[in-house]
Structure formats: C-alpha cells, structure tokens
Amino acid sequence: MNKFRLKFLIERKTRRCLREGRNQSLRSRWMPGLSQNFLFSLISVALMGTVVHGVYQLPNSSSLRTKIQAGEAIPDREVPVIAEARAMHLAALEELGKLKLNQQIKSYALRFDINYRLSSLIYNISEDENIDPELIYRIIWTESRFKSDCIGPVGEIGLMQVRYGTALSIDPGATPRRLYDPAYNIRIGIKHLKDHLHFYRGDTRLALLAYNRGRGKVNELVNLGVNPANGYATKVLDSNF
C-alpha cells in the first residue's frame, strides 16, 4: 500500500478513536506489540521527518509523550504525527518481511541449484496453496530435477510429472501443452498432492506414495496388510540438500 494512503487511513482511524474517547485503545489495541518507549522513538523520527519536509505544524514531542503516558486526550492537530509513526512502523515491517522472503527464496535456489525465478515461482505458489514449500521443492527435485520439459515413462509431464488425465480431473480446461508451463504444472501438482493429504488425513508419507503409485494401489496394499512403501516417500523426505 502507498505510504501516504496508509498514513491517511491511520489518521482517520486515530481521529475516530480520539472522538470516541478511547485513548487506552489507541495506546494498547490500536498499536499492538509496541512498547511505549518504542512508540515514542517512532514519534520522534516522524517529528524529524515532518520538520525536514515541512508537512505539519509540529507539536512538542515531550508534551505528546507526557500525554500518551498519562492517557490524556490528544489534540486533533497531533494525530498526523501518530499516524506518520505508525505508517513508518508498518512500512518497516513490510520491508523486513520482503527481505526475509527474498532470503528464503535465495536459500532454496542455492540448495537445489536452480535460478531465482524458478525458486520464487515454487515458493510463492506453495505459499498461495498453503503447503510447505520445502516439500514441493523436494518433490520436484525427485520427479524431474527441475526440468519443465521432462516427460515420464507413462506420459507424466513437467516439473511435478503430472499426467494429463490427472490434470483434467482437477481442471477441465487442462491440456498437455499447458502442463509444460511451470506455474500451471506446479499448481496442478500441488492440488493433486493436497487431495491425497486430505484423504489420508495429513499423513505425508501415504500422500506421497499415492502421488507416486496412485491412491488405488496404495489403498489396495494397505487393505491387504501390506506396507505400500516403495522408497519414494523416503527419497523425497529424507534426501539431504
């Protein structure tokens, strides 16, 4: 969100709190996780920023600090300073989040020896589908070694080696050609895996075996009292990278 838009929304929310006489809400719930000292530091930074840019008629920072500590009413003209401080805090958290995400994607790219773009694609789609990215990287390494044009012995296609018939059961608009698209292949493969995870109530090893051998075969062996393991789940989960 644009910083100025964010600041405007915070100002509006803060003014509403003040009109309703909820200073305590402003100091605690409205700024969760912020100690008073940290809040004062943010306000000080915001004050310096407004001095440089000449945007606001500035209140006395020590006076504002005293009022917040005492729970006194905060003059309406001082609301922009609080909004600026909160906006700066949120912007900083957003930047930290982006930095952390970037480092995670780079880390996976190095571990699996792939480019950043592909690593970002795998990570972001996994997050979007609410599944552990680590598991998806491991499956793709096992299935195709990250080659989007890989074709399996019985017609499996792409990064996650998805069969055309499987793709059709998930997306009626699927085509063999679309399965060569990395983003589409990853998403279809993840949805297929999630279906197995749901069926086996979160048992990752059984879900992986079903992904590899087919659910019918796994169920048949389990019903006969035979261990369906064939080494696939172990290879995916226990390989060192």
pLDDT at 40: 46
Residue 52 has pLDDT above 50, yes or no: no
Helix 116-128 × helix 79-112 angle, to 10°: 120
Judge contact between 213 and 232, C-beta under 8 A: yes
Distance CA 239, CA 152 (A): 21
Which residues touch 50 (CB under 8 Å, ≥6 apart)? 56, 58, 80, 81, 84
Residue 3 confidence (pLDDT): 55
In angstroms, the CA 213 to CA 153 distance is: 13
Please give the residue that has the higher pLDDT: either 34 or 164: 164
Burial class (CB in 10 A: 0-12, 13-18, 19+), 4: exposed
pLDDT over 90 (residue 241): no
Residue 138: Cβ within 10 Å count? 19
pLDDT at 6: 57
Mean pLDDT score of the chain, rounded to an integer?
A: 79
What's the whole-model pTM score? 0.65
Q: Is the pLDDT of residue 208 over 70?
A: yes
Residue 38 has pLDDT above 90, yes or no: no
| pLDDT tops 60 at residue 203 | yes
Tens digits of residue pLDDT in 85-107? 666 666 666 766 777 788 899 99
- Residue of higher predicted confidence among 14 and 115: 115
pLDDT of 83 reads 65
CA distance linking residue 165 with residue 176, whole number of Å: 9
Q: How far is the C-alpha of 23 from the C-alpha of 67, rounded, in Å?
A: 10
Best CA proximity match to 188, nearest among 111, 104, 129: 129
Average pLDDT over residues 201-225: 97
Q: Which residue has the higher pLDDT, 146 or 47?
A: 146
pLDDT score of 151 more than 80: yes
Report the distance separating Cα 201 and Cα 212, nearest Å.
17
Q: Which residue has the tokens 């809040």?
A: 39
At residue 13, the pLDDT reads 59
Query: What percentage of the chain carries pLDDT values higher than 70?
Result: 61
Residues 171 and 225: beta-carbon distance below 8 Å:
no
Quick one: pLDDT band at residue 179, thresholds 50, 70, 90? very high
The residues near 24 (Cβ < 8 Å, ≥ 6 apart) are 71
What is the Cα gyration radius of the chain?
27
